[in-house]
Amino acid sequence: MDEQFEHEYLKGLNPPQKAAVLQTSGPVMIVAGAGSGKTRVLTYRIAHMIASGIDPFNILALTFTNKAAKEMRKRIESVVGAEARNIWMGTFHSIFAKILRFEADKLGYPSNFTIYDTDDSKSLLKTIIKEMKLDDKVYKPNVVLNRISAAKNGLITHKMYSSADELTSYDSVSGRPHIAKIYEAYAKRCFMAGAMDFDDLLLKTFELFTRHVDVLNRYQHKFKYVMVDEYQDTNHCQYMIVKKLAAVNENICVVGDDAQSIYSFRGATIRNILNFEKDYPDLKVFKLEQNYRSTQTIVNAAGSVISKNKDQLEKKVWTDNQLGEKIKVMRAVTDNEEGRLIAQSIFEEKMKAQLTNKEFAILYRTNAQSRSLEEALRKLNLPYRIYGGMSFYQRKEVKDMIAYLRLTVNHRDEESLKRVINYPARGIGKTTLDRVQLNAAEQGIAWWDVVENPEMFPNLSSAASKLKDFVIKIKSFATMLQSKDAYDLAMHIAKSTNLLKNLHDDKTVEGISRYENVVELLNGVKEFVEDDTSELEKNLGTYLQDIALVTDADKDDGTEDKVSLMTIHAAKGLEFPYVYISGMEENLFPSQMSSGSRKELEEERRLFYVGVTRAEKKLTLSYANSRFRFGQLLPGEPSRFIAEINEDFVELDRKSFKKRSASDEETGLGRFASRNKPKPNFRNKYGKSNKPAGTAKLPPAIENFVPEDTSAIQPGDQVEHQRFGVGKVVSVDGDLGSKKATIEFDQFGKKQLVLKFAKLRFVKS
């Protein structure tokens, strides 16, 4: 590559970016602030490595979405050409699944193992819980799966779990003493079915490298250069695998931003990035601090908030962009009114500046908040799209078709077998399936082994011929795996099972939609087969792995002109010109669950930082004084995060702040109003004062205030509130979950508080 060409891809970088690109050897950490162009740096760093003579087959690049990997590969290819296709680049799960396909036999798995999604895992757990005669209201599949997932991310196998006193004791105290037995049964059933769940793709890779040093050594010498994007979001298992792979050459580069570490609920630990230097003392650190995305106001506001966190890497994010508008704060009486205010604001912004719908995004802390927002958008005919709703691949008819494809590739896939053995109906009823399940459990064998040999089980004699016919059909599909590509085989299966005909014959609106969804799935298989840019084989097994690891973000191409609605977690990595963050209330954002420790509160603050930095031109924050939650209308107060923004960067929306409330004063919003609102005229038409009676300013929250359990509160009790001070309980109403107390406070008068959320303690007389 000549010097001129090399200069072309380097000259657009700022000095810190260029320095990070040129440092291709040794341990490197790139601390990339929000909007600082980290994707460009990653892209050009890999391109520069290849241009400098490093074999792309020796480069491993790990990302957190397939979409990010595809975009980076495309950019690298535009610089260095087709050599970019030889890089091992993809998500942790897709790369490790690829390795496990090659090495599965060493762990006793077939190379064509099935990847169970969350629904498959829950279905299997539901079956196990039923077989163990446990109460599924206590052992909820979702709760059990989360417990197992956390264990796997912490490198705890089912054998280790059962002997870990701390874990089993916690389960006993939580009223679920049989979690260890369920985990053991789940692991064995997955193994028997030749299946791995998402967490297994990490855990089994770690087991592979730990138990087979020769395999680890081979990949250590293959991947001489390791790069990890979004390193702040890695969990302990990912950290350990990366550390093992980089141990020989130590040419490891991690990229991330500790201020955007928001996935501890998935097992991610911010310590991986904060302590990276301890693992590599000769580490070179590059800080990307110039933000190219947002206005100065948004960048400075975000910085003023995140500076409140103690656990962070030192950096100062700045921008040369224009100053931009102040961050607007809107207040609503209810969550429904909040939805109307946001929808109206989007409508007005669109009309005023001739904007498109896709330039707007509404973010929220929880998915449940979307209801009032959706209703308001529909009333103004503003089209929208919800991220994180039901995935295309989770629709029943799509899962049915995929189950046939999975069963063709792996006959022992128990979840797929259960799904399609009698769909479309072929006379194999629930009684027969119950007997199959019973025989499999008694003999300790897979469902397929029973279905394939019904003559060996007397209780299946009446259904033997139908089971045999089903087995013959599935085996006939399997004989075509080598001779047909993924599309031809998928179409043959769809037709010969009568699945396509069954859906086509249903002429209801829902039936037509289901048929179209399966046709769309088949179109997707066709696209996969005809994609010349992909290095993947075009067989059915490869296609199934490809779609098993697809996320909602991977499918979005950004072409639909719709307002985007999503949680802030889902918005990570995205950007929009106009952003609204709704539900900015205490106990909602920050979440009530985060109030227990500084660590949890700091993660909530990082989440808010992520939300703020999604905005390019304008940011609006909104909150409601009351909101329906848990089936009740609950009072709300503005989030502390609003008050943590430097007041120079905020203004109150005049329409929604015609009258301030005590909660505004309590959280410091009054200071914004005094700077941004004209002084009110308190004279009525008769010249007399209408000035409301003065309200005492609320003091700051009492430091080190420890609330008590007030479920036994009685009228006449003396209590102390974290902000309202001392008061006397006048009355108590409602059931345990919705109990409210009316309290006469010495300084602030009578207030009604929901005890579940009130920060109170008893005052001893």
Residue from 38, 287, 412, 618 carrying the catalytic annotation: 38
| Active site (annotated) includes residue 39 | yes
Catalytic residue among 120, 197, 199, 230: 230
Secondary structure of 295-364 as H, E, C letters: CHHHHHHHHHHHCCCCCCCCCCCECCCCCCCCEEEEEEEEHHHHHHHHHHHHHHHHHHHCCCHHHEEEEE
Residue that has been written with the tokens 């669950």 in this structure: 593
Structure tokens at 702: 């009492």
Number of Cβ atoms within 10 Å of the Cβ of 49: 24
DSSP string, 10-39: HTTS-HHHHHHHH--SS-EEEEE-TTS-HH
Six token digits for residue 644 = 């943590």
Cβ-proximal residues to 75 (8 Å cutoff; 6+ apart), any chain: 39, 43, 47
* Residue 168 a catalytic site member: no
Q: What share of the chain is helix, strand, coil (3-state, %, to 5)?
A: 50, 15, 35
Between CA 39 and CA 229 the distance in angstroms is: 9
User: What one-character DSSP code corresponds to residue 617?
Assistant: E
Q: What is the DSSP letter of 366?
A: S
CA distances 264 to 272, 279, 346, 602, 613, Å, are 12, 21, 33, 11, 20
In degrees, rounded to 5, the angle at the alpha carbon of residue 355 between the alpha carbons of residues 353 and 361 is 120
The active-site residue, picked from 260, 297, 432, 667, is 260
Give the whole-angstrom CA distance, residue 116 versus residue 113: 9
Active-site pick, 45, 73, 435, 614: 614
260 catalytic per annotation: yes
Listed residue (663, 652, 660) closest to 621, CA to CA: 652
Q: How far from the centroid of its chain's Cα atoms is residue 702's Cα? A: 35
Q: Which residue has the tokens 């109460």?
A: 135
Question: Rounded CA gap, 113 and 104, in Å?
Answer: 8
Phi, psi of 664 (to 5 degrees): -65, -45
Rounded to the nearest 10 degrees, how much is the dihedral formed by the CA atoms of 214, 217, 221, 226? 130
DSSP H/E element including 278: helix 276-279
Residues 6+ positions from 112 with CB-CB distance below 8 Å: 194, 409, 410, 541
User: Is 614 known to be catalytic?
Assistant: yes
The yes-or-no answer on residue 230 being catalytic is yes
Catalytic residue selected from 200, 229, 586, 664? 229
Residues with a catalytic annotation lie at 38-39, 229-230, 260, 614
